[in-house]
Amino acid sequence: MEYTPEQVAEWMVNEIRERGILHQSDAIAHVRTHFGESFVFVNENGNESLSKEVKKAFRKLHRGRVAWDRDGFFWGWT
């Protein structure tokens, strides 16, 4: 089955809604395993990240209700 960035973003928002936060490392591991490698890449700093398409769909879906914590490397419900 082929997944869309929107489906990945929906999973992320649901996780944050249920748990309060979602650590980037957990998100990347889950997305890679359940949605596919195509949604993960290594950025210019050598760190794994979610694809730009996923991040764009995620921002559109949460409409400002989720914040990124730079120090903790997680997203949290605001």
pLDDT at 1 over 90: no
pLDDT tens per residue across span 28-60 = 999 999 999 999 999 999 999 999 999 999 999
pLDDT at 2 over 90: yes
Domains of the chain with bracketed CATH: 5-77 (1.10.10)
Q: Which pLDDT does position 16 carry in this prediction?
A: 98
- List of residues 6+ apart from 36 with CB closer than 8 A: 3
- For the stretch 22-47, what's the b/e string if a residue is b when 16 or more beta carbons lie within 10 angstroms of its beta carbon? bbbeebbeebeeebeeebbeeeeeee
pLDDT tens per residue across span 15-24 = 999 999 999 9
